[in-house]
Amino acid sequence: MLIVLRKPASSPEQIDQVVFYEKPFLKFERLLETYLAFAPRGFRSFALSMPAWIKDKLFQKSVLTKALSNALGKTIDWQSRLLFSQHHLSHAASAFYPSPFERAAVLTLDGVGEWTTSSLAVGQGRRLKILKEIHFPHSLGLLYSAFTYYTGFKVNSGEYKVMGLAPYGKPRYADLITEHLVDVADDGSFQLDMRYFDYATGLTMTTKHFHQLFGGPPRPPEAEISQREMDLAASVQKVTEDIVLKLARSIRSQTGEKNLCLAGGVALNCVANGLLARENLFDNIWVQPAAGDAGGALGAALAVWHLHLDGQRPKLALSDRMQGSYLGPAFSDEDASTALNTCGGIFTRYSESELLTHVTTALSAGKAIGWMQGRMEFGPRALGNRP
């Protein structure tokens, strides 16, 4: 918000609403009911997670109001301007509203929001309606994260490594996954067998049944990667792709929509997205570049504008509402010079040809270069402005 307010002639008074991308009460309801359903199993996880809720998260509204007052001014009634959007509505809005489509089906696939892990919505003009949902603990994102954990990577950030590892392996375990872990219906909806997963109430992702099924304990982080991990990665990637394709097929026939928008963490799986595009199930596919939770903030803001304030969508053919995803801050030569001076660095201005000569010489000598130009990319996408 501070970066947005850096624009000339903008002030905090011009902010009509502030929106948070999920509903804390609804998430707390899910946690509490899950712990009650599994009790007494999960007590350790309960005892570890509850203090953060009781201290801060349950009081998100007052925490945010206080933070806004401190950062942007105490004279504005921030509480009355603060809204909360549902997690998957935020994702769906982030996928549909910036897309170039007047109408589209919207598929969100995620770890978990409040209760929802996957949703199907249909957008038309400024309207967006969620039609179907799959609820926790049945989650495609968390199935993938379970394998991320099992192959020794960090949950919620190492998934791209599993995707990158997949082409080095063979999907030897794919049948085992579909026979034991996940039951996929004809329409692509799915249910997980929770005997194999610990995430609902535990402190890890997988149980001893999972380890027995795949023949050993999880790979310790930083241990050597073997063919087994590559095969596991290929297997979960294959199952994920099959589920995404099945879901897409059923969405096409159920909604009759010709365009599909995607968001949610699983939509960062560009290999599955590429396969989906090549299958030609839809005339057009549009994926929110910041498909993870960061993009939820953007979607929540768009949902407030279009659904709450009845704001019109701009002429679709004429606009790129993601602005190429270059939505982050930009810095001038003066900003760079000041920042370097304060930390003892040296700022030198070169012409473009001098700069390119310096950079190519340094790269040929095996040196690392940091490159900054224009506005920073929004979302986990390297598009050339901050390599």
Partner 1 sequence: MAFLKELLAFLRARKKLWLAPIILIMVALGGLMILAEGSVLAPFIYTLF
Site string for partner 1, 81-120 (x = CB under 8 A): -----------------------------xxx--------
State the minimum distance, in angstroms, from the CB of residue 298 to partner 1.
17
Among 293, 295, 298, 379, binds partner 1 (CB under 8 A): 293
Between CA 363 and CA 346 the distance in angstroms is 20
Query: Which DSSP category does 134 fall into?
Result: E
Question: Is residue 77 involved in binding partner 1 (CB under 8 A)?
Answer: no
Can residue 43 be called a binding residue for partner 1 (CB under 8 A)? no
Site track for partner 1 across 131-170, x = CB under 8 A? ----------xx--x---------xx--------------
Q: Which residue's CB is nearer to partner 1, number 51 or number 73?
A: 51
What own/partner pairs with CB < 8 Å and gap ≥ 24 does 67-73 have?
A: 68/18, 71/1, 71/2, 72/1, 72/5, 72/12, 72/15, 73/12
Nearer to partner 1, 137 or 171 (CB): 137
Asked if 32 interacts with partner 1 (CB under 8 A), we say yes
Please tell me what DSSP assigns to residue 375. Answer: S
Q: Does 69 bind partner 1 (CB under 8 A)?
A: no
Q: How far is the CB of 55 from partner 1 (least distance, A)?
A: 5
How big is the site for partner 1, counted in residues (CB under 8 A)?
Answer: 34
Task: State which residue, 202 or 324, has the beta carbon closest to partner 1.
Answer: 202
Cβ proximity to partner 1, 98 vs 158, nearer residue: 158
Q: Is 25 in the site for partner 1 (CB under 8 A)?
A: yes
Compute the least distance from the CB of residue 50 to partner 1, in Å.
6
| Pairing of the two strands 82-84 and 18-20 | parallel
Is residue 263 within 8 Å of 91, Cβ to Cβ?
yes
Q: If DSSP codes are grouped into helix, strand and coil, which group holds residue 106?
A: strand
Query: With 0-12 CB in 10 A as exposed, 13-18 as middle and 19+ as buried, what is 198?
Result: buried
| Cβ–Cβ < 8 Å for 113, 87 | yes
Helical pair 43-55 and 24-38, crossing angle rounded to 10 deg: 160
Q: What's the sign of the alpha-carbon dihedral 335, 327, 244, 35?
A: positive
Q: Interface with partner 1 by CB under 8 A: which residues? A: 25-26, 28-29, 31-33, 36, 45, 48-56, 58-59, 61-62, 110-112, 141-142, 145, 155-156, 199, 203, 265, 293
